[in-house]
Every structure is written in structure tokens, then in C-alpha cells.
Amino acid sequence: MNAVEKLAAKNSVNKFICVGLDTDIEKIPRHLLTSKNPALEFNRAIITATYKHAAAYKVNFAFYEKDGVNGFKLLSDTLTLIPPDLPVIADVKRGDIGNTSGMYAKSVFDHFKFDAATLNPLMGKDSLQPFLNYKDKLNFILALTSNPGADDFEKLELNDGSFLYQKIIEKVNEWNDNNNCGIVFGATNSSELNENIKMFDRLAVLLPGVGAQGGSLPDVVNAFKKENRKNYLINVSRGIIYKSNGNDFAEQAEYELMRMNKQVQLIIDS
């Protein structure tokens, strides 16, 4: 089963929440710090508590790269803890000239064996092509992000009256020959989501920004429900993994994820 099929399979059972493992030693419960590898124990507990309810996991490399060799070791060890039937997204936002982009693709797909990656399209098609060549993987390309800086460039108006992020979505549709493209669309941009949702009919959509960043879960679910579409993942990181800072952190993460799943289900059934 390739990444697109795995995503579709998960969504057929109405699982839409992707758990982001943005593991930060400064934020994990203090009682873990006495263990030999606190960050790994944290990830193990979170994964054990959430995997039955998660649609996917997302790992942002930044939280691992910050510790160099040890961080990459933690990343490798963490990946072995995730059940193989769950898609795992490398949130790397890579993009570079072709030759170099090929090395990044090898890192993400061949070395670490992720099912999907996030990519930055600024440098254009050839900067992403090595990733797009992996037919069984899924590539979420940044279109409109959830942060305030989205105004700086992504929302700039072009000379044909469209916005840069719309031009990106248009191009991603053109690049989708292998049916392995998706976009990243920040959940904080609720009105843009509703206005443009028909543009990503044939793309998988990853929506970060719910929770700590202020995006609304019901807004996202309703937008896709109106279109009768299920090809999306809502990423929640801090809102789940740091729900509690006590001994019950894993249990609370599980409850929070189950609560979100139920909230989604209620909207879909309504």
C-alpha cells in the first residue's frame, strides 16, 4: 500500500488527525528527565497512547536536528516505534537545486523511509522533481501557511489578479502526474480554505495550525464536508503532546486525540 492509499484507507474510517511529534526537551514533563533518554521515552509514551486513534504522525526535523548526531539518532529510534501501517510525514520543507534536492529525497525516503514529506516550492519544479519521482510517496507542498508571515509573500497579488499561493496550487496540480502531490494549507486561513477548496480536488491536503496557532477544527472539517471530500489530514502537535505536563501526559494526549476524533465524527454525522 503506498502513501496515498494508506492516507485514503485511514480517511475511510474518518481518522483525520495527524499527531505532530515536535518533541522539545524543554517542554516534556519534568519527571521524565531522570530517565536515560527522556525525549525517546516521551515519544514512546505518546505513540503508545495515540497510535490507535491517529491518522498519521508528522515529525518535524528541526526538533531533532538541533542536537546533531544525537538528534538524528533520536529520530531513527522514534521511527521504529511507529506501527508500519500508519503513514509518517517528514516535515522538512525542503527544496533545492535538482542535484541537491535528490540528496534530500534520499535522506527522507530512502534513509529514514518516511511515507511523505513537506516541501518548499519557492525554487520551482526542478527543485522538487527528485521527490516527485518517488511514485509511492506523498509530497505536501507549502501553499498557504498558518503563520503571520504568510502575508509577506504567499498572499501577494500577482499581475493576473491571483495570489501567489493560488499560483502554487495551480502548479502543484500540473506537477501531479504521479498522483503523489498534496499541499500544506494553514488551518488559520479559514476563509481562503473555503474560497479555494475546489482547486485541490485532486490533491492531498495537510492542515497545520489547529490549536496553539489558533486554527479551528470545526471550520476545517466543515469546509471539506461541504465538498464531500476526505483527502485531508489536520495536524496537531503541541495541542496533543503537551496537553498535560504531569505523570498523566500520555493518557491526556490520548484523551485529547479521542476528543478531537469525536468532534470530527459529530460534524461529519450531523
Measured in whole angstroms, the distance separating CA 95 from the mean position of its chain's CA atoms is 17
Q: C-alpha dihedral over 85, 175, 153, 189, to 10 degrees?
A: -50
In the list 17, 168, 223, 253, the residue contacting a second copy (rule: CB under 8 A) is 168
Angle, CA 104 vertex, CA 46 and CA 78 arms, to 5°: 15
**Min CB(217)–a second copy separation in Å:** 18
| 16: nearest Cα among 202, 147, 208 | 208
**Min CB(29)–a second copy separation in Å:** 19
Question: According to the binding rule CB under 8 A, does residue 13 interact with a second copy?
Answer: no
Stretch that binds a second copy, among 94-102, 196-204, 218-226, 251-259 (CB under 8 A): 94-102
The C-alpha cell that represents 234 in the structure block: 489536520
Question: According to the binding rule CB under 8 A, does residue 214 interact with a second copy?
Answer: no
**Min CB(241)–a second copy separation in Å:** 13
For a second copy, the closer of residues 33 and 97 by Cβ is 97
Going residue by residue from 17 to 36, which x/- string records binding to a second copy, judged by CB under 8 A?
A: -----x-x------------
Whether 36 is a known active-site residue: answer no
Question: According to the binding rule CB under 8 A, does residue 127 interact with a second copy?
Answer: yes
**Min CB(13)–a second copy separation in Å:** 30
Question: According to the binding rule CB under 8 A, does residue 246 interact with a second copy?
Answer: no
Give kind and range of the element (H or E) at residue 252. helix 249-269
Pairing outcome for strands 116-119 and 181-185: unpaired
Backbone dihedral region of 235: left (phi > 0), alpha (psi from -120 to 50 degrees) or beta? beta
Question: Which residues carry out catalysis?
Answer: 93
